[in-house]
Structure 1
Amino acid sequence: MKSHLKVHYFQHIAGEGFGSCYSYLKEMNAQISATEFFALPVDRPLDIEALPHVEDVDLLIIMGGTMSVNDEANYPWLKIEKRWLRRYLSLGKPAIGLCLGGQLIANALGAAVGKNTVQELGWSTIRKIKFTPHDCFQLPDQFNVMQWHSETFEIPKGAVHLAENEVCRNQMYQIGKNVLGFQFHPEMTPETLALFLDDDDELALYKGEYVQSSKELKKSEKNKFIQGNQILNKAIEYVLRKTAC
């Protein structure tokens, strides 16, 4: 692993930040930079050359967002972001995609992203796919993490399906040894959740059996976040170690 790891993250909504993995990466003495797509002028097209040179990024982390990967008309930078992703991934470099981030990687590589049969918002039990190859990223047999999504990805061609639950089959995938895509939010912290729960307009869009109330979620104990945070730290370590081999 490089002594000065250069980590870049793509942020799609204001205030979200880096979640739980910020302190973990700082322990590695990582140099952290960001592209804030939400802050780009809407009347000025994004030039792909304005994004970092792919050679200057050692690890890419793609955060979540409230938009759909298919909504390029309202968010024209999505098309440029996907182009840049294809360029970056073609070099076999490590990447982690979280919720929208996992959808973006999948979609950039040709997989469909569309409405899930139900919306998921709140704590959910996820299962590791049985008979996951031994050389893939290893998850606990069962774990509890935060969900916040209406859409979901198809598993990209050539990827390994890693996790599922009862209402959303595609919860995590792996591409090669360098890419892990999550549908859920392992990075969630109490502070991040509180920020998300302040968005009344976003909350109003979610309804159904698998949507927990904001009142209930505000009572989430700190220890509920630990397992997801640990899985994300191990995922980062995995893609960095495997691509350094």
Structure 2
Amino acid sequence: MSRLALAVRHVPFEDLGILAPALADRGYRVQYLEAGVDAIDSEAVAGADLAVILGGPVGVYETGRYPFLQQELVAIGERLRRDRPTLGICLGAQLMAAALGAEVAPTGRSEIGYAALTLTAEGLESPLRAVQSVPVLHWHGDQFAIPDGARRLAETPGFPNQAFALGPRILGLQFHLEADASKIEQWLIGHACELSLRGVDPAAIRRDAERHGPALARSARQALDLWLDGL
């Protein structure tokens, strides 16, 4: 029987992207749970063979505005308590950090566009070593603190907490390793208001997606394979 990879999606275009083929090749059957639409059942989330918590343009701390976030935090917390394989991306990593008791807060600034990571010593020994020299897509203004007991894996100038790992099965990424550069136009349309507000030129992101996309797709696949191999 195929294994279930449950992907919690917050906006349609922030999907598994280039990670989907890697999961299919491993024999995973992907099921999307649409946050804010589908019921978030803690047992279902905790019981999946693999969970990927994807990104979105809301803040972990906005539970009053977006009540589904509270249900999602409870479900993620139960999964992490059981130490089940979980990958969080951007908002997903922030939700994981919050569920583990770490602070998540706005920084008052933003990081949007393609840029390389600086890996910590522990990051160089992690699956992220596969993306050490490849610019990845950043798209955030919030930041998580590193949960107690977790290892800090990567940083960028002004954003020291770009990734954390808690044991071999729990990995949180502030950046978007999954983004399919061939579909970057969906991101530019979906986040048009934010780009305008932040004064970010979509043409620059479009050019960088074309320039870095192929190498990122290869390196992201390698990083995911290394993580899955270690589960």
Same fold by TM-score greater than 0.5:
yes
Q: Distance in 2 between matches of 1:171 and 1:133?
A: 10
Please give the root-mean-square deviation of Cα atoms over the aligned residues, in Å: 2.2
The 8 Å contact of residues 114 and 209 in structure 2, kept in 1 or not, is answered as: no
What is the percent sequence identity of the aligned residues?
A: 25
Counterpart position of 1:236: 224
The 8 Å contact of residues 56 and 91 in structure 2, kept in 1 or not, is answered as: yes
User: Which amino acid letter does the alignment assign opposite residue 167 of structure 1?
Assistant: G
Q: Matches of residues 1-245 of structure 1 in structure 2 within 5 Å?
A: 4-40=2-38, 48=41, 52=44, 54-55=46-47, 57-116=48-107, 118-129=109-120, 131-132=121-122, 136-139=126-129, 140-199=131-190, 200-207=192-199, 212-220=200-208, 222-243=210-231
TM-score by length of 2: 0.89
Q: CA deviation at 1:195?
A: 0.4
1:19 match: secondary structure: coil
Q: CA deviation at 1:53?
A: 5.2
Counterpart position of 1:43: none
Judge which range, 9-18 or 132-141, deviates more.
132-141
Q: Distance in 1 between matches of 2:157 and 2:124?
A: 24
Larger Rg, first or second structure (1 or 2): 1
Q: CA deviation at 1:24?
A: 1.6
Judge which range, 113-122 or 73-82, deviates more.
113-122
How many residue pairs get aligned? The number is: 229
**Structure 2, unpaired ranges of 5+:** none
**Structure 1, unpaired ranges of 5+:** 41-45
Q: Distance in 2 between matches of 1:238 and 1:65?
A: 25
User: Which amino acid letter does the alignment assign opposite residue 143 of structure 2?
Assistant: T
2:153 match: secondary structure: strand
